Amino acid sequence: GVGKTALALNIASHCAVKSGLKVAVFSLEMSAVALVRRLLAAEARINVKRLTRGLLSKSVDTRQEASDWQRLAEAADRLAEAPLWIDDTAGISILELRGKCRRMLMEHGLDLVVVDYLQLMSSGLRAENRTQEVSAISRGLKAVAKQLNVPLLVLSQLSRNPERRGDQRPQLSDLRESGSIEQDADVVMFINRKNRALQAGDAGEDEEDWRLAEIILAKQRNGPTDLFKLVFLEEFTRFENPEFSSYER
């Protein structure tokens, strides 16, 4: 993938850990354990594959090993204290999600809801086709945001149209299975990563180039569209501002 889940988790973690905002993450594809592993890797800047395989203790550089474990422990402490909740109910419906969000709002407060991702949700309604169901889910999520007065960050799949075009930057028309997603959303952002093309055989690019990711602000209801760049440190599942990133592995 292009890093949708990584970026969403980075946003959720920043809101909860750095700003103390109350965040709920609904993960329909990945388990809560897998999400926590990614959160730890990103927060501690530790290679997620080595963390998953338990290879940190086999580092040749013992100083780096101690540093890894220290960063991991510190990251775990920060995340444990953060007001961040993860729900990995598969195929959750709009009704179930609204009920859980309302309960969190009443008991703890709620500042942000992340849904990963829209096409895996259930509308809870009978639909003649998949397009109608996705439209119903999109409208339902919009209603939840308005009813609870809480922003929703909702991930969505794209069609394969960008891969067929000369310019592979995603467009609003690429949103998969429903034009209503574009209509319902206040803000639409896309991730465009050059390294996907480079991996297909392009050469001559340095590391900084293939790590750069374009964040395309394709729609903003109350503002202009725009494009900005971040660095995607895939081994840490972490996005950073280019000026603050050292590109260290």
List the catalytic residues.
29
Distance CA 75, CA 64 (A): 16
Whole-number Å distance between alpha carbons of 185 and 192 = 19
The CA distance from 247 to 224, in Å, is: 31
DSSP for 191-224, written as a single string? EEETHHHHHTT-----HHHHHEEEEEEEEETTS-
List the beta bridge partners of residue 118: none
Distance CA 144, CA 115 (A): 12
Position 233, amino acid = L
Is 84 in contact with 35 (CB distance < 8 Å)?
Answer: no
